[in-house]
Each structure stands twice: as C-alpha cells, then as structure tokens.
Amino acid sequence: MTLTEKILARAAGKGSVKAGDNVWVKADILMTHDVCGPGTIGVFKREFGPEAKVWDRHKVVVIPDHYIFTADSKSNRNVDILRDFVREQNITYFYDVIDDPNGSWKFDPSKGPLQRQYGSQYAGVCHTALPQKGHTRPGEILFGTDSHTCMAGAYNEFATGIGNTDAGFVMGTGKLLLKVPETMHFRLEGQLQPGVMAKDIILHCIGEIGFDGATYRAMQFDGPAVKNLSMDDRTTIANMAIEAGGKNGIFECDDQTRAAVDARCRLNGTRQTYEPVERDRHESFVYELTVDLSKLEPTVACHPDPGRRQLARLMTQTQLDRAYVGSCTGGKTSDFLEFARVLRGKKVVIDTFGVPASPEIVHDLQTARWDGQTVWQILVDAGVQMTENAGCAACLGGPVDTFGRMNAPLKCISATNRNFPGRMGHRESQVFLASPATVAASALTGHITDPREYLS
Amino acid sequence: MNLATIPQNSGERQDLKHLRLSIAILREYLRELTLAGKSDQILLRWARRVHPYGHIASFFASSRMMNFIDNLPRRRQHILMQSVFTGPVYVVRDNIDTDQMISAQYLNLVPTIPEEYEKLGSFALGGLPDSLYPVRFVKPGQMDSDYPIVVGGRNFGCGSSREHAPIALGSAGCHAVLAESFARIFFRNAVATGELYPCEIADRLCDALQTGDVVTVDLDKLTVTVEATGKVHAIKPLGDVRQVVDAGGLFNYARKTGMMSAA
C-alpha cells in the first residue's frame, strides 16, 4: 500500500484498502475557522439537535484566522459565534483573537493595519498554527474546513479539506466516508540550487501534471532529496497539492518530522504518542515523476491558474504593480528570511506587503538579528509594509478593507498559493505565483525577475 | 399591510421577499422560545441588541442568534426532486473556481442563517470577470438567477473547500451544473448539501451552447436536449448522487435510508 492507503486502512480498522474503496474513517482532528466554522456549527446544530455535543471536545480545533483584521461587522461576529460555541461545548483548543472568553471581537481600524491587535492566544493562519500548536502527528487523519488542510501531509498524516456539511457530520460522529484516492508518486532527487526554493518544486510539479492533474488523487513526495528539505519546505509542497486538484499530499516521517512533532506537542501539551506510516515494497502508483531538484530554476505560475508554469527569467517583460509575501504557503519564518536575504540593503520600487502567517513568526522576525539589525527592520527599511496582524489577509481577497487586498485591476507577484481571477480582490486583477525570493527580486525591479541576479 | 398593493418592481419585490422571510423566521423563532424554555435569558439578550429603527431582517443578520435559528426544523431551503426540468443555460468555460462562484469578500455570510443563505444567491458567479462574462448570472439588484442550469467546461469548482459555492448557486435557483469534469471538493459539497445535481457530460457543451439557449435535462433518461436543435447529449450515470440530492443532502439521505436515526 502507499502511505495514504496505509493511513486510511488503519483509520478504517481494516487490514488493507485499495484505491477506489469507500471506507468510513475515524478522524483524529477536525479543524475549523471563522469563515466555515459558523456554517459548520449551524449544520451540526441543525442535524444533531440544539443540545448535541461534539464527538470529542479535545479533537475539535478552532482557529480564527481568515477575516480578522477587518471592520466588517459580520466577519467580527463570526469570530464571536466561534467563541460562543467553544464555551458551550467546552472545547479545549481554541486560538481566540481576544483573551476574554466572554468578550466580543471588534477590530479597531483607527489603530491602522500594521500594529498588533490580538491577544495572547491567537495563533494565526490555521495550517501554520496546527503544527506550531502540536496538532499534527504522523499517521493521523486530519479534516479541516479549508482546502489547504492538505499542508499537514508534510507531517506524514492524511490531511484533507472538506465542506461544512461533511464537517458538521464529523463534528457529531467523528467519522467520515471517504473514497481511497489513487496515489501519484513524485520522487525528489538532487540538491536545490541557490535562489531556488520549495515553492519552485511544487510549481514545477503542478506545471507538469496540469492544475487538475491530481483531481481525486493523493500526491506522495519522497526520495533522497527530502531529507535536505526543512519541515517548512515540505509544508510548502504539501500545501499546494490542492492546486493540482489533489485530495492530499504526503511525505514520509523521518528524524526531522519526529523532532518537530515531539517538540511542538510537548510545548503545547498535546498528545505526544503517534504511529507513523512507512513505505513498503508493494505500492501501486497511477503516475510517477522523478524531479531532479538541481535542475530546477525559479518558477512562476502565471495568471489565471496555478498550472501555467513559466521560468522567471523568461518573464522579464511582465510589469508589476504590487508584490506580496504571506499566507500558509509563503508566510513562514523561512520564507521571510529568503525574502529579506534578497531585499537586504535595497529598496523595493512597487507596493510590497508582508503578512507573517502566525504571531510566532512575527516574533521570530522581530528577534532574529543580522549584524545587529532585526530581519523585520531590514524588511521595513527595504520599503516593505510589514504587518504584525498575522492571518490569511489578502491571499484570498477578503473584505474590502483587508490589508494588501487588490481593490483595482492590478498585477501582483505573490508568494501565496492560488491565482484564479479575483483571488486577491478585484476580479480583473492578476496574480503571478512565485517563491519569496522571486517575489523579492521582482519587487526590486518592478517586473518579474529571477532572484539569482541578486545573489552574490 | 395589504401585500397586494405593493408595486411589483424588482427592488420592492426584493424587500417583500426579505419581509416574508423575516416574518417566517420570527414566527419560527417565537415558537422556539416557548419550546426551549430559555425565554428570559434570550429576551434579555434580544433587548440589548434590538435597534428600534433597524429592519428586522438586518437585525437577524447582525445578531448572534444563529444558534437558535439553526435549531429550527428547516433542513434546507428547497428540495429538488424534479427529474425533468427545462430552462435557459448560463455558459462558463474551463476551470471556474470557487472564488468566481462566490467572491471571498462574501464568505462573511453564514449559509445556515436563512437571510444570509438568500444573500449568497444574489452573489452567485459574481466573481466572473466582466470582461469575459458581460451577461451576469444574477442581474444586478436581483436575488435569484434567470438561469436554472449552468454549463461549464473542465474542472468546474476547483479551488477552495467553501461550501458557500454550491450553496450560492443553489440559492440563486440553479438546479444542475452540466460540466465536462468537476473538482473533487465542489462535487462532494454539491451532493452533501443537496443544492444541485453535478452532471458530468462527455460532450463539450460549453462550446456547443451559448448563454440563454434553452435545454431540457432529464435525470431519469440521463439526457440533455437542446430545444432549438433537438440535439441530445448524454449525462454520465449519476450513481448514488441522484438519491442523495433527491433526498435533500447527505443528512436527509442518511435518515431516509436508516444510516442515521431520524432527529
């Protein structure tokens, strides 16, 4: 069996499963957020009754992160709906925006978009928060009401996005009927060259299979190169499995995985026992691709879909209005470090926005120093508008007052994950997806630029 | 108020629709109050929140009463059940993602709150670029679409897992999407909510048809007939999907078939 089949078989209580089987699997974690949580709660209450209790109050993880730093009253209300439900159900893991469990959330626009407006429990973008708070463990099943839930596959678990109705069902029963996906195999070999990042690997793979190339399928990433990829790198890759239509992306468990998971579970006091799945000799794949990482170059996915692959060096004619680094995909500490490495001591020539994915990342960037200067300050000095208000922000547009949202038909190069028409705001705007290094180089020139030009 | 005296232009029809909806909510809510036996506590919360000049519908939208509204017996807004339907199609191309079906800025609307469910419909397919789709699926100022059938190309519904997407289409009055292929989560959400029939068609209908062409969809015979030409296209077998959508979604189906106890 493949890694995905092994996890699903175990969760279904079966000795083996094969692609195409429909199986009931037990959930280990159900994650929901402020955009789909209220609707999921609505379905749960409607279907299981007003007095119903969630199947396991320790396994429902609630992470407001999408529309937080906005004056939109309905969005603020949605965070309050989550809080009311968490209180009613006595849910253990709720990463609230505010500290008062009986309060209500209201964003204060008069303080501006840059200054921190959250309390001590807020955790930022759900997919980044899940591993940081010790909710991702090898061998487990994670459901989330968000398509990028597949990011947690980097930790050797089966993680996939589901809708409100399915999530309402899981909330009540802890189970879900799933079709076992076929597995596509991506074997990674060789060493990434300077200026090339994990984002380039996944943009390359999606370009190879097309952006519906993995529909209904699992994407398994393994091979000798994986040991040189950090957990951040692996999450970037697994995160974008959905951008090829994939049901999940998955990696093997190694020492790095175990070290990260153990440390995080200990830190937040979550369960520290888990059972990884390992590869065996009897794997059946519907597709195989070997990628030599040493041959990859900085890559861009052109408007309007993540499968429109092109090399950055061939796109210098594309003029830009804006650059953006942030989101679960591209707003991690390692992403901002690469971003800063290119921008250091220089000035951006277009509007450039930086939105860290989590408060912890804000802290990292404000404390990491290069020659006495914080990375945060290096970015600010380069002209980047850096906000402390970690969250999904303009990656998916959001309410019109969202930080970095495109409210006009602009062209933006972005370290985020999706570039369909209107994704970052205005429906005639255009988004070009690239690594943080490529975004940085492009911000310095105002057109799409290969970051290797700025590496000395 | 004598409803018959209200002029039937579109703006006021909408208000009327809201008003009727609000009255229905209020009536059910009041019943819920007596049943729940929590009236004092709830009324206190009400009293703090009621705005004397606010439209009652907007009160519901801005209140945190959803827990109670959700408990109403309303399982879904409409149940399809029709096996044959005829109407004009709205044609879109390949790779229509969920952002184009419902712009992310409207994800602040909660589908299980009836008024917000209705509103989601008014924004259905509103994210399509005007430059490519000058004819809109829902005309400005209307709550529902004139097109009960949407025709798409490949990979319809790619992108996010937001259930708002099939819900917006269903709320706008779409019964079926006829596409060459569907993205996984959208397909599942369309069936789980019972909002619409996602029908796969081998023929590339988005090239053969134009917005406004009238077709008849027959779910028993698995055919799409173009009224003007009489040309018939085959729908791929729907399998279990048919029964689940017929039942009004996953939960209704589970109860109907004894997988879940009737609530």
- Chain B residue with CA closest to A149: the answer is B161
B261 or A130, which is more confident? A130
* Alpha-helical segments (H) within A49-108: 73-89
Are the beta carbons of B161 and A216 separated by less than 8 Å? no
d(CA B1, CA B175): 34
Domain residue ranges of chain A, discontinuous segments joined by +: 3-177, 181-272+281-295, 303-454
Q: Do domains A3-177 and A303-454 have the same CATH topology?
A: yes
**pLDDT for B260:** 80
> How confident is the model at residue B80, as a pLDDT?
58
Q: What is the least distance, in Å, from the CA of B128 to any CA of chain A?
A: 7
Write out residues in chain A with pLDDT < 70, as ranges. Answer: none
Q: What is the mean pLDDT of chain B?
A: 77
Q: What is the DSSP string of A350-367?
A: SEEEEE-SSHHHHHHHHH
DSSP state of B148: S
CB within 8 Å: A50 and B130? no
What's the CA gap between A307 and A203, in Å, rounded? 7
Q: What distance in Å separates the CA atoms of residue A332 and residue A234, rounded to the nearest whole number?
A: 12
Nearest-CB residue to B192 (from A165, A247, A422): A165
Domains of chain B by range and CATH? 10-70 (no CATH), 84-250 (3.20.19.10)
Rounded to an integer, what distance in angstroms lies between the CA atom of residue A354 and that of residue A377? 12
Q: In what order do the strands lie in the sheet with A248-251?
A: A248-251, A217-222, A182-189, A285-292
Can you name the residues that pair with A292 across neighbouring β-strands?
Answer: A189
pLDDT given at position B81:
62
Q: How many CB pairs lie under 8 A apart between chains A and B?
A: 177
Instruction: Please name the residue that has the structure tokens 């009236």.
Output: B39
Q: What sign does the CA torsion over B211, B213, B218, B222 have?
A: negative
To the question of domain A3-177 being in CATH 1.20.210.10, the answer is no
CB contact under 8 A, B161 and A399: no
Q: How do beta strands A299-301 and A369-370 pair?
A: unpaired
Please check whether residue A75 touches B, CB under 8 A: yes
pLDDT (tens digit per residue) in A108-153 = 999 999 999 999 999 999 999 999 999 999 999 999 999 999 999 9
Residue range A303-454 in CATH 3.30.499.10: yes
pLDDT number for residue B259 = 79
Chain B residues lying within 8 Å of A43, measured CB to CB:
112, 251
Task: Please answer yes or no on whether B108 and A165 come within 8 Å at the CB atom.
Answer: no
**B3-45, pLDDT tens digit by residue?**
333 333 444 444 444 444 444 444 444 444 443 333 333 333 3
Cβ of residue A55 closer than 8 Å to a chain B Cβ:
no
Per-residue pLDDT tens over the stretch B55-114:
333 333 333 333 333 333 333 344 556 799 999 999 999 999 999 999 999 999 999 999
Give the helix/strand (H/E) hosting B18: helix B10-36
Q: Specify the CATH superfamily of domain A181-272+281-295.
A: Aconitase, domain 3 (3.30.499.10)
**By C-alpha distance, which of B199, B193, B197 is closest to B248?**
B193
CA distance B246 to B250: 10
Nearest residue in A to B189, CA atom? A163
- Which pLDDT belongs to residue B258? 85
Q: Write out chain A residues lying below 8 Å of B68, CB-based.
A: 50
Mean pLDDT of B157-176: 96
**Residues A48 and A172 sit within 8 Å (Cβ to Cβ):** yes
Q: Quick check: B1 pLDDT over 70?
A: no
